Amino acid sequence: MKYLVYASLIISGASVAQEAPNYAISATNAAKTLLTDITNTGNGLIAVGKHGTVIKSTSGDSWQQAELVPTQVLLTAVDFSNENNGWACGHDATIINTTDGGVNWQLQQALPELDKPCLDILFEDDLKGFAVGAYGMFYQTTDGGQHWQKRFLDSLLFSDDRDYLNDLKENDPQGYEAETASILPHFNRIEKTDNGLMLVGEMGLMARSIDDGQTWQRIEEVYLGSFFAVASDSTQEIVAGLRGNVFAKQSGEKQWQHFENVKTATINNIINYNNKQWLMLANSGVIFHLQDGLLTHEQLADGKAILDGVILDNRLIMATEDGIKVKELTP
């Protein structure tokens, strides 16, 4: 998720290693700092971003920074299973959670020795969740994050890589362990769709699980660049990513349609508006609109990367590289 930010911060935001949790840096105007993700909890909005920033709002007009956030890493994703229980993840494979709607947060995991960011987090309910990230990072929990199980999804390897790893496993166990830490592509986003869980990432990766994440199968590649966004409804699935590349597949069909696009802004997220059109939030202040098979775009004046957004009362409330931005929508 969020190519512009990750390209510059996946290394530099390789956050300061922490022996004990340091609390998030208090910002003078936290709603104007780099924000990477935003969600509607059902009882308000939560956005996350730089230096462990977590901000809350009931309407999207005024924002308050959460004070007790036990990390200073770049937070990259946030998800709530209900209005009280939420999780956020970020650099150093950090995962934090709240049980009071985002007022207080607890540290569930921080692994600075990995030097890898978590890039997305998804909870299906209060107990079952997934955290994914760089170089095939995949963690799963069945107890609300009290324990996170690390998994290596070997089913997503290319056949040549699988043969190579099998040989290493037999002849060089140490080499095998080292290779499994980086041989898989980045997992950029995980979403629940009408057809199961879907995972997209680097090198055109698309994968699906129809058994709640227990097993995964690759979907045949339609593009060799990175995907950062996936969305679906009962009629279609959409994937999008690097340089404005957008593909859609209608339900019951096997072929993906590639949309011609004059804009090459990388797409970070896809959201549905009024069950009529898809809004694709992109770098350089670009918003793509997909409706009735037609892809168009608009350009916001400030040109800032839009990393995520939610719709509330016909307003698009965006998490951007320059903080919260609000745009009125026409129903």
Question: By the 8 A CB rule, do 138 and 187 touch?
Answer: yes
Average per-residue pLDDT for the chain: 93
Task: Please say if the pLDDT value at position 317 is more than 90.
Answer: yes
Tell me what pLDDT residue 15 has.
40
Domain annotation covers residue 58: yes
Tell me what pLDDT residue 16 has.
39
Residues 282-298 have a mean pLDDT of: 97
Tell me what pLDDT residue 13 has.
42
Domain annotation covers residue 175: no
User: What is the residue range of 66's domain?
Assistant: 1-119+303-331
Residues 145-166 have a mean pLDDT of: 94
Domain annotation covers residue 52: yes
Task: Retrieve residue 233's tokens.
Answer: 């409804």
Tell me what pLDDT residue 20 has.
62
Domain annotation covers residue 324: yes
Question: By the 8 A CB rule, do 54 and 64 touch?
Answer: no
Domain annotation covers residue 180: no
Read off the pLDDT of residues 83-121 as tens digits, 9 standing for 90 and up: 999 999 999 999 999 999 999 999 999 999 999 999 999
Domain annotation covers residue 234: no
Region at 198 (left for phi over 0; alpha for psi -120 to 50; beta for the rest):
beta
Task: Please state whether beta strands 246-250 and 187-193 pair in parallel, antiparallel, or not at all (unpaired).
Answer: unpaired
Residues 119-130 have a mean pLDDT of: 98
Number of domains in the chain: 1
Read off the pLDDT of residues 8-32 as tens digits, 9 standing for 90 and up: 444 444 443 445 678 999 989 999 9
CA 231 distance to own-chain centroid: 12
Instruction: Determine what percent of the chain is predicted with pLDDT higher than 90.
Output: 86
Task: Please say if the pLDDT value at position 5 is more than 60.
Answer: no
- The pLDDT-based confidence of 158 (bands split at 50, 70, 90) is confident
Domain annotation covers residue 79: yes
- The pLDDT-based confidence of 159 (bands split at 50, 70, 90) is confident
Instruction: Identify the weakest region by mean pLDDT among 14-23, 62-71, 246-255.
Output: 14-23
Domain annotation covers residue 41: yes
Q: pTM of this prediction? A: 0.93
Task: Please say if the pLDDT value at position 151 is more than 70.
Answer: yes
